[in-house]
């Protein structure tokens, strides 16, 4: 069996497309109540279908989410079902809980690192003080 990261790189080269990794909760699933009870309760985030349509023409899209961790026995099934019900599954070539190799990462919790730890620490303090997460 070929390891997932090797398969991803091979697929990317074969298709000639770079990869964009997209977090599920927030960027795709609206996620208005946070984790809540673990269900996928919201509709798609406004504008996501149009964005995925556009991005999928040039990039290979990989969905990443902790919902499909091994300790979430129905997670993969539930995510796939939600994507299908919302006509979004056709845009993703893979679903994973591991950080995939990608040219870009789209994640609502990201703190961007531009070789400046003081800015990163300031951003984390700012988010913590406003109870964002």
Q: pLDDT by residue (tens digit) across 62-82?
A: 999 999 999 988 999 999 999
Selection from 24, 118, 33 nearest residue 65 by Cα: 24
Integer Cα distance of 9 and 15 in angstroms: 10
**Is the pLDDT confidence value at 53 over 90?**
yes
Give me the residue label for tokens 């990794």. 21
Closest CA to 108 of 53, 48, 68, 56: 48
Determine the Cα–Cα distance for residues 73 and 14; give it in Å rounded to an integer: 32
Q: Check residue 89 and report its DSSP letter.
A: G
pLDDT value at 9 more than 70 = no
Quote the percentage of the chain above a pLDDT of 90: 82
Among 41, 117, 118, residue whose Cα is nearest residue 79: 41
Phi, then psi, of 106 in degrees rounded to 5: -115, 115
pLDDT for the residue 57: 96
List helix spans (H) across the chain. Answer: 4-15, 48-58, 75-85, 117-129
CATH superfamily, domain at 4-108: HAD superfamily/HAD-like (3.40.50.1000)
Helices (H), 32-74: 48-58
pLDDT at 129: 83
Extents of the domains making up the chain: 4-108
Strand partners, 47: none
* pLDDT tens by residue, 92-127: 999 999 999 999 999 999 999 999 999 999 999 999
Higher pLDDT, 28 or 12: 28
Is the pLDDT score of 132 beyond 60? no
pLDDT of residue 133: 46
At 13, the pLDDT band (50, 70, 90 cuts) reads low
Is the pLDDT reported for residue 14 higher than 60?
no
């Amino acid at each position: 069996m070929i390891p997932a990261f090797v398969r991803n790189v091979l697929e990317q080269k074969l298709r000639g497309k770079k990869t964009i990794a997209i977090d599920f909760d927030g960027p795709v699933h609206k996620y208005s109540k946070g984790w809540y009870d673990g269900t996928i309760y919201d509709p798609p985030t406004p504008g996501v279908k149009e964005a995925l349509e556009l991005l999928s023409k040039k990039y290979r899209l990989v969905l990443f989410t902790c919902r499909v961790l091994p300790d979430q026995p129905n997670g993969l099934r539930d995510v796939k079902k939600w994507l299908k019900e919302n006509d979004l599954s056709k845009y993703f070539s893979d679903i994973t809980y591991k950080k995939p190799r990608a040219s870009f990462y789209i994640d609502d919790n990201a703190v961007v690192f531009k070789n400046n730890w003081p800015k990163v620490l300031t951003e984390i303090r700012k988010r913590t003080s406003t109870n964002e997460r």
